[in-house]
Chains A and B, each alone.
Chain A
Amino acid sequence: MQVRWYDGYVPTFNDFFRLRDELDQLFDIGLPLSNIRSVPRGTFPAINIQEQKDSVCIDACLPGVDPKDVDLTIEDNALTIKGRRNTGNGGGNYHRRERFSGEFTRIVSLPEGLDSNKAEARYHEGILSITIARAEEKKPKQIAVSVA
């Protein structure tokens, strides 16, 4: 029997690769209802979104990123976070390289009725917090009930 040895697949571990592929299919690709804009697990940067009464806050986990290297734009209802992170430290041999290094882009769909002129971003402890205010006319309004 000819042993095929390609794509870095070591024949001894073929069963493990097959198991991994099957699990990936089961959990990621197999789900019939995943959103067309959804991203795979572990996409950099991780993003959290909070909706508040007056604003929407988007937190992006960007540890070790120089805020000058991040470009934020709002167009229609999409926020684009674009930038680069360089974790390369030159000298030495790496035992592990798990941290993301390179260029990244993430596009976040925003809810309707935000005022992109009232957006601010703050970088603290490796988290970039972007706060976008809701437009005045879209804020929830209290209706007074008068007794007839």
Chain B
Amino acid sequence: MADKNTQAVVRKDDAELASRIKDTLVPQVDICEDRESVTLYADLPGVAKDGLDVHIEKDTLQIYGRRSAHAQAAGTGAYTEMPARDYYRAFTIGEEVDRDHISAQLANGVLKVVLPKSERAKPKKIDIKYA
């Protein structure tokens, strides 16, 4: 019985997500990593600050970008390579990311998300003692 209920909840979540990300575009991203953090850059042309939703749910980083009215209108013309659709992309993140210190900024249609590593996950140099 419990299993049945759990499954129903999961399906509902999936349905909500599916309806939200229906007909969305997948933004192109660069992801690089150094000792301190993992940094993600995403191209989101036509997305204003209030149309952007970046959040972490369980182990998933979700990026959702709604196009502003101007950009919406721009995709309904005589010739269209960039359809007037919203953006969605998600990534799984590991335990090593310090969830409390994630920062995001949007400038000129490019989103930058910095995912700092927790102290425990940073590489450590081991001193070698000579006997």
Binding site for B on A (CB under 8 A): 43, 46-51, 57, 59, 61-65, 87, 89, 91-100, 123-127, 129
A41 to nearest B CB, angstroms?
A: 9
The 8 Å CB contact of B39, one of A59, A89, A123, A127, is A89
Bound-complex Cα distance A65 to B45 (A): 11
Query: With a CB–CB cut-off of 8 A, which chain A residues contact B82?
Result: 46-48, 59, 61
Number of interface residues of B (CB under 8 A): 33
Q: Tell me if B74 and A129 are in contact (CB < 8 A).
A: yes
Known contacts A99-B29, A126-B46: does B79 contact A47 (CB below 8 Å)? yes
Say whether chain B's binding surface is mostly helix, strand, loop, or mixed.
mixed
Assess the B71–A125 pair: CB atoms within 8 A: yes
Contact of A92 among B39, B44, B47, B76 (CB under 8 A): B39
Contacts of B45 in A (CB 8 A): 61-63, 125-127
A49 → B minimal CB distance (Å): 4
Interface residues of B in 94-112 (CB under 8 A from A): 107-110
Report if B28 contacts A (CB, 8 A).
Answer: yes
Is B32 a contact partner of A94 (Cβ separation < 8 A)?
Answer: yes
Q: Do B32 and A93 have beta carbons less than 8 Å apart?
A: yes
Q: A residues within 8 A CB of B39?
A: 89, 92
Interface residue? B24 (CB, 8 A) = no
Q: Do residues B108 and A64 form an inter-chain contact, with CB atoms below 8 A?
A: yes
Structural contact, B32 and A126, CB atoms closer than 8 A: no
12 A-B residue pairs with CB within 8 Å: A47-B81, A49-B79, A50-B73, A50-B78, A61-B43, A61-B82, A63-B110, A89-B39, A92-B32, A95-B33, A99-B30, A125-B109
Within 8 A of A (CB), among B13-41: 28-34, 38-39, 41
B76 touches A125 (CB 8 A): no
Residue of A93, A96, A100, A129 most packed against chain B (CB within 10 A): A96
Closest to A96 in B: B31
Closest chain B CB from A28 CB (angstroms): 15
Bound form: Cα–Cα A84–B33 in Å: 24
Contact, CB under 8 Å: B108 / A65: yes
